[in-house]
Structure 1
Amino acid sequence: MVVVRVAERARLPWVPAWAVFEHYLVGLRRTWRAGVFSSFLLPVLTVVGFGVGVGGYIDQGVGGVRYLDWLVPGLIASTALQVTVADSTWPVFSNFQWVKTYFAQSASPLRVGDIVLGHLAFVLFRVLTTIAAFLLVTGLFGALRSPWAVATLPVVALLGLAVAAPVFAYAAWVSTDNFLAMLFRFAIIPMTLFAGVFFPVESLPDALRWLAYATPLWHAVDLCRAATLGVAPQWSIAGHLLYLAAWAGVGWPLALRAFRRKLVV
């Protein structure tokens, strides 16, 4: 482990988080071709399988809206969630436990906040580029009913920050990657199934409905659905945004504390 004293760190020149973000961009430059195909293939298969396939068995749609059009915004938010968690779990864990990238960065003039912020920025970049591709594909299928669909981009960015920050803290805190698999099994998959992506949460029992409301995903789903359909959300826009911002506000200091615990002695 690299030992860095706080007093010594204060005398080092400041290097912005952009340097960390650029580090991940350099790595992405070598691998982006493999991800481009899946970025477009995933929404195509999902739209065809769920929207066209399953939607063909639903005569009335949902709330008078064609099932494909109702489903797409939920898929936008859930895809953003999955990309966020995938890029915030094993990459963060491996940077501590396996490849030791964070320790190398902390040995430079970078501060802990720069390391966390730069990596978070890259995760948000991945979310935005993935969802931009998703919007393009679903738009070609005629599943975006409103020009306000572009508003889903800042929504998924806020969702990404709300989820990535606490997951960064979790991935930095756990001692084995078995806990990362548990996060997917007991949090991400149930959240995706019951947070209004595939069916309205109003059809759930009261207890499960309020659990869905407590998840950050449901708030993003409601905002994305309002944007793509051109209707008002079920809850207030300000309430949704404040709730997601609260998750990010709590997750950021937790991530900083978890990173400092391992990087600063």
Structure 2
Amino acid sequence: MAEQDPRTPLPPVAPTRAAPPASVPAQRYPQPLWPRNLRNWTMVWYRNFMVWKKLAVPSMIGNLADPMIYLFGLGLGLGMLVGHVSGVSYIAFLAAGTTASSVMMSASFEAMYSAFSRMHVQRTWEAIMHAPLTLGDVVLGEIAWAASKAVLSGTAIMLVAGVLGYAHWSGMLPALAVIALAGLAFAGLATIVTALAPSYDFFMFYQTLAMTPMLLLSGVFFPLEQLPSAVQAAAKALPLAHAVALIRPLLLGWPLQGAWLHVAVLAAYALAALLVSLMLLRRRLLR
């Protein structure tokens, strides 16, 4: 058989088509649902911090204006009529309660309005989850960020109260730990509301039906013992009542009673809210 001349061009070869890949069910977000590890969520926290840092001053003023108005408006005004409550001046009594209520307000508003904007309007969560992060990383980072803002707000109220002589400096460090735990609990509860919210208007239901009753029934403005026994029993199931029961004795130098019970209730709220919000957000974002 004669060998082919190497200078002779080879005949064209018809292009072959690769076999189409087997169909794979589309997954919109990375799996698993839970946080991938103990550090990925910090990237979400850091991203929110970098955005907040650009508007830190007006944000802090907005978070502090409402509790400061309560503290000085009611504290000085009603203090002239009430005098002393439980052995301390009314404004000192109110300062400790306002510290706890500011934690609830700051954590809730951040986990509702700001988180809803990032999730639904700006679709920032969807963009983040194209990186090697799970939905659990994003939710945990958002809750931790909302709790961080609550710590900032509560710390500012404590410092003002301490400078004016309405709080003991020695109790502020353990109170800071309580503020962080309460911030996680309130941020988790607000994240549940965010998972259910179709629009910003939905948050008014939570503010009116949950936050306002907690503010009025948890001992922020007056001793819880003055309420009827049935109302006291209902109030003791609210997370704000347990936060007040821990923060007020620490700031006023009173002995703590049932501290482990209050801590356990706040921790249970924080953990249960995280789990429920994860399940609700998975159903919302993957449907």
Letter in 2 for 1:225: R
Q: Normalising by the residue count of structure 1, what TM-score does the alignment of the two structures yield?
A: 0.89
8 A contact 1:92–1:172 mirrored in 2? no
Q: Give me the whole-angstrom Cα distance separating, in 1, the residues matched to 2:147 and 2:246.
A: 18
Q: Give me the whole-angstrom Cα distance separating, in 1, the residues matched to 2:32 and 2:248.
A: 50
2:236 aligned partner: 213
Q: Normalising by the residue count of structure 2, what TM-score does the alignment of the two structures yield?
A: 0.83
8 A contact 1:43–1:137 mirrored in 2? no
234, 245, 258: which is aligned to 2:267?
245
Q: How does 1:81-230 map to 2 (within 5 A)?
A: 81-145=104-168, 147-230=170-253
1:201–1:107 distance in 2 versus 1, CA, 3 Å: same
Count of residues paired in the alignment = 261
Q: Deviation string for 1:175-200 (max 9, x for gaps)?
A: 23332110001110111011100011
Q: Give me the whole-angstrom Cα distance separating, in 1, the residues matched to 2:164 and 2:41.
A: 39
22, 31, 40: which is aligned to 1:16?
40
Q: Which runs of 5+ in 1 are unaligned?
A: none
After superposition, the CA RMSD in angstroms is 2.5
8 A contact 1:43–1:138 mirrored in 2? no
Q: Give me the whole-angstrom Cα distance separating, in 1, the residues matched to 2:226 and 2:32.
A: 58
Letter in 2 for 1:158: L
Higher-Rg structure is 2
2:57 aligned partner: 33
Q: Which runs of 5+ in 2 are unaligned?
A: 1-25
Task: Give 4+ residue runs of structure 1 displaced > 6 Å after superposition.
Answer: 7-10, 12-15
**Deviation, structure 1 residue 173:** 2.1
1:145–1:33 distance in 2 versus 1, CA, 3 Å: closer
Query: Higher helix proportion, which one?
Result: 1
Secondary structure of the corresponding residue to residue 143 of structure 1: coil
Q: Deviation string for 1:116-156 (max 9, x for gaps)?
A: 11111211211111122111211121101351133221111
Q: Give me the whole-angstrom Cα distance separating, in 1, the residues matched to 2:66 and 2:33.
A: 44
Instruction: Kindly indicate whether structure 1 or structure 2 has the higher relative contact order, using CA contacts under 8 Å at least 6 residues apart.
Output: 1
**Percentage of identical aligned residues:** 28
**Deviation, structure 1 residue 93:** 2.2
